[in-house]
A and B are shown apart, each in its own frame.
Chain A
């Protein structure tokens, strides 16, 4: 499987980082790709306007799991605004591969989940 997507995606799919749940998360959002069934939930712990912890749970394809694994590591320490505007290009670069257009939505799924979680937190 690593031949198709590269070593980073393969490694993060096999051993995802930040997998699991947070006790009493401050922000939670689940995002679904309604056609293929990829489903990712991101949980955040926030403190003084910053993301202090992130975890995820989901049954999703290699690209989506790897992207979520990376993203939940990269947003810790960011302000809510910085996290909400996390650049898609930065996440795609971290995957260290070139995705076909059809698979771009897989990588975007965790960003949508993150923004959904932060929308709720910022609204509060």
Chain B
């Protein structure tokens, strides 16, 4: 979601207007969740996707051309999979609802200003929720994490309800369509018009303790996955821009002191690649006091046990020690630094998603059912 503004800005350099397709509703198994975007430019440029390609995106592109001509927004409801796919059991099984609308991309287009504002909030590590009426998507209310609002849905009662409902969704970090409450200020959903709540959360934060050779590909891969990356090391010779050109932040100093200064929240992952007890013990001591979502430590089982034992003797609770993933990463037979980085990030994602990291095909075999829709998405071209 955080890439919306840069993508719109890039499109604005080559396109006068675009059709913006937003996934505003899903049912069943769908490859993308509410808030996914796709743009179809008047000049033919296509960016983003509301599924993973295939028939639905093709239909959106087709409808976009009509929207670009008429200027009237359209709501499309589509099943994932065409009739042939249903016939031979290749459908994804879900349905999606997509809002397609025309956007003007002039220099000071309102939509650009709006997404620029959202991007600025997200850059400051703050979430924001854009609320728009599905029947009149031009009406927009931006609700910030601190409760401040900008813009309006046209009626004070709608703004009030939207603000309250947005606050709940900001906490959950999920985008969705809801009916607005109109009278009850405490209502979480109501009988009013449908609105799409587009939640923009800060990028997940990866904090790497140690600027060694594993952290270098970790930074590269994590950047591609959308993480904000902080590399921490005591040694200025290692934590250099030359070695970490894509890191968002290089912090040199006492590592355990630095991690105390970083907000360690559920969306933060801390990975210790430093492989040195003198840093691992104090950093873990600090990190385990926080609500950090993931903490992993490079090292074999023996080393891992040793470091955890030092903390155990200090009185760190077993429940806290159990949070440390050591050895770090999923078992994919990783050997090189890049492979180890891949295994680590796969585990970070699995933990974030509440998944085990098991092979999808093996899980499907164990369930004695055909491969899951998500697996078929990865392995096959979507029909249509």
CB distance B278 to A34 under 8 Å?
no
B255/A59 in contact, CB under 8 A: yes
Annotate B225-247 by CB proximity to A: 1 below 8 A, 0 otherwise. Answer: 00000000111110000000000
Q: Contact at B278–A38, with CB atoms within 8 Å?
A: yes
* A39 neighbours in B (Cβ, 8 Å): 234, 253-254
Cβ-defined contact, B237 with A34, below 8 A: yes
* Cβ of B219 to closest chain A Cβ, rounded Å: 19
Type the 1/0 row for A19-61, where 1 means its CB is closer than 8 Å to any CB of B.
0000000000010101111110100000000000000011111
Pairwise interchain contact A58-B279, C-beta atoms closer than 8 A:
no
* A60: B residues at CB distance < 8 A: 278
CA distance A62 to B282 in the complex (A): 12
Q: Which residues of chain B are near A62, meaning CB under 8 Å?
A: 278
Contacts of A59 in B (CB 8 A): 234, 254-257, 278-279, 282-283
The distance from the CB of A33 to the nearest CB of chain B, in whole angstroms, is 9
Which of B235, B279, B313 is the one whose CB lies under 8 Å from A32? B235
> In the complex, which residue of chain B has the Cβ closest to the Cβ of A37?
B234
- Give complex CA distance A64, B282 in Å: 14
Chain A CB within 8 A of B276 CB: yes
Measured between beta carbons, the chain B residues less than 8 angstroms from A65 are: 278
**Cα distance A11–B313 in the bound complex, in angstroms:** 13
How distant is A32 from chain B, measured CB to nearest CB, in Å? 6
- For A, the interface residue count at a CB cutoff of 8 angstroms equals 18
- Chain B residue nearest to A35 (CB atoms) is B235
Q: Is the CB of B254 within 8 A of A37?
A: no
**Nearest CB on A from B303, distance (A):** 13
Cα(A119)–Cα(B37), bound, Å: 60
- Interface SS of chain A: helix, strand, loop or mixed? mixed
> Considering the chains assembled together, what is the distance between the CA atoms of A87 and B233 in angstroms?
31
Q: Is the CB of B235 within 8 A of A57?
A: no
Complex: how many Å from CA A62 to CA B237? Answer: 23
Could you tell me if B254 and A38 are in contact, using CB atoms closer than 8 angstroms? Answer: no
Supposing A32-B234, A34-B235, A34-B236 touch, asked if A61 and B278 sit within 8 A by C-beta, the answer is yes
Query: How far, in angstroms, from A38 to B256 measured CA to CA in the complex?
Result: 12
Q: Give chain A residues whose Cβ lies under 8 Å from the Cβ of B278.
A: 37-38, 59-62, 64-65
Q: Considering the complex, which residues of chain B in the window 200-245 have a beta carbon less than 8 Å from any beta carbon of chain A?
A: 233-237
Chain A residues in 8 Å Cβ range of B314: 14
The list of the 10 closest CB pairs from A to B, nearest first, reads A37-B234, A39-B234, A37-B235, A61-B278, A59-B279, A59-B282, A39-B254, A59-B256, A59-B254, A59-B255
Known: A14-B314, A35-B235, A58-B254. 13 other contacts (CB 8 A): A14-B313, A30-B253, A32-B234, A32-B235, A34-B235, A37-B278, A38-B234, A39-B254, A59-B234, A59-B255, A59-B279, A59-B282, A65-B278
Residues of A within 8 A of B (CB): 14, 30, 32, 34-39, 41, 57-62, 64-65
A/B interface sample: 14 pairs, CB < 8 A: A14-B313, A30-B254, A32-B235, A34-B236, A37-B235, A37-B276, A41-B254, A57-B257, A59-B254, A59-B256, A59-B257, A59-B283, A61-B278, A65-B278
